[in-house]
Amino acid sequence: MFRIGNELIFPPTSLSDARGLLCYGGDLSIPRLLLAYRSGIFPWYSEGEPILWYSPNPRFVLFPDEIRISKSMRQVIRRGRFEFRMNTQFASVIRHCKEVDRRGQPGTWINEDMVSAYCELHTHGHAISAECYEQGELVGGLYGILGKRVFFGESMFSLVPNASKFAFIHLVEHYAQKGIELIDCQMHTAHLESLGGRNIDRKQFESYLM
């Protein structure tokens, strides 16, 4: 495994191992994080570990025109139970993603350093939140990094059923109208597969980063 230092550089993504792990070290500064995403790399590590950088192959993604909205979800949207907003409570969204219980997972990879780094990215206009409200209360959402052709999704949460799906669907529709061609979901989840996510080869994924 490669160790990176203070220089703003990453190894070629083709050198990542079978898990997608490419290198460790460095920092979570804005320049390094932006370089990482523009290179198809993201940080993912637990408390007490060095910063670990990943570039999995295959890559789990969603093409906006392939999004699947179930009949029951369409009914949820039509009933007007939820309200969609963007970037009104970024810090709350990432903290909910950090603290929400996840079935089958002992903890979270979103530590305080990650929270601080992504809030700073948001302050500088690089990170966004998509939010779902019920009767004025934040009940679901997600956050990620906005690129030129790709939205790099990081994490999502729901406090009530369907809230994160509602926010995700509206985010995809919003950015599809603005020219975003791909939603990066990083790694497979059944939740995102149900919405139309699928694996593609790393080289195909990286063609959208150019």
DSSP annotation string for 93-147? HHHHHHHS--TT-SS-S--HHHHHHHHHHHHTTSEEEEEEEETTEEEEEEEEEE-
Please list the residues that pair with 186 across neighbouring strands.
60
pLDDT tier at 26 (50, 70, 90 boundaries)?
very high
Burial 54-84 (b: 16+ CB within 10 A, else e): bbbbebbbbebeebeeeeebeebbeeebbeb
Distance, in Å, from the CA atom of 171 to the CA atom of 162, rounded to the nearest integer, reads: 14
Q: Could you read off the pLDDT of 54-112 as tens digits, one per residue?
A: 999 999 999 999 999 999 999 999 999 999 999 999 999 999 999 987 665 545 689 99
3-state secondary structure of 43: strand
Q: Could you read off the pLDDT of 34-60 as tens digits, one per residue?
A: 999 999 999 999 888 999 999 999 999
| pTM (2 d.p.) | 0.95
Domain count along the chain:
2
CA distances from 54 to 5, 79, 129, 151 (A): 16, 40, 22, 17
Average pLDDT over residues 184-200: 95
| pLDDT for the residue 108 | 67
Q: Could you read off the pLDDT of 142-185 as tens digits, one per residue?
A: 999 999 999 999 999 999 999 999 999 999 999 999 999 999 99
| pLDDT for the residue 197 | 97
CATH value at residue 29: 3.30.70.3550
Distance, in Å, from the CA atom of 187 to the CA atom of 116, rounded to the nearest integer, reads: 23
The domain boundary, picked from 57, 80, 101, lies at: 57
| pLDDT for the residue 192 | 94
CATH value at residue 114: 3.40.630.70
Q: What percent of the chain has pLDDT over 70?
A: 97
| pLDDT for the residue 43 | 97
| pLDDT for the residue 193 | 96
What the block records as the tokens of 26 is: 């460095």
| pLDDT for the residue 47 | 85
Those residues with Cβ within 8 angstroms of residue 200's Cβ, 6 or more apart along the chain or in another chain: 58, 59, 61
| pLDDT for the residue 106 | 46
Q: Are residues 85 and 158 in the same domain?
A: yes
What the block records as the tokens of 125 is: 């206009």
163 touches 133 (CB < 8 A): no
Q: Are residues 17 and 92 in the same domain?
A: no
- State the DSSP code for 7: S
CA distances from 88 to 57, 80, 92, 122 (A): 34, 20, 9, 11
| pLDDT for the residue 102 | 60
133 touches 169 (CB < 8 A): no
Q: Which of 170, 164, 173 is nearest to 192 (CA)?
A: 164
Q: Are residues 89 and 141 in the same domain?
A: yes
Which residues constitute the domain of residue 131?
A: 60-207
Q: Are residues 28 and 116 in the same domain?
A: no
Crossing angle between the packed helical segments 90-99 and 112-123, to the nearest 10 degrees? 160
Q: Are residues 41 and 134 in the same domain?
A: no
53 touches 41 (CB < 8 A): yes
| pLDDT for the residue 210 | 82
What's the whole-number average pLDDT of the chain? 95
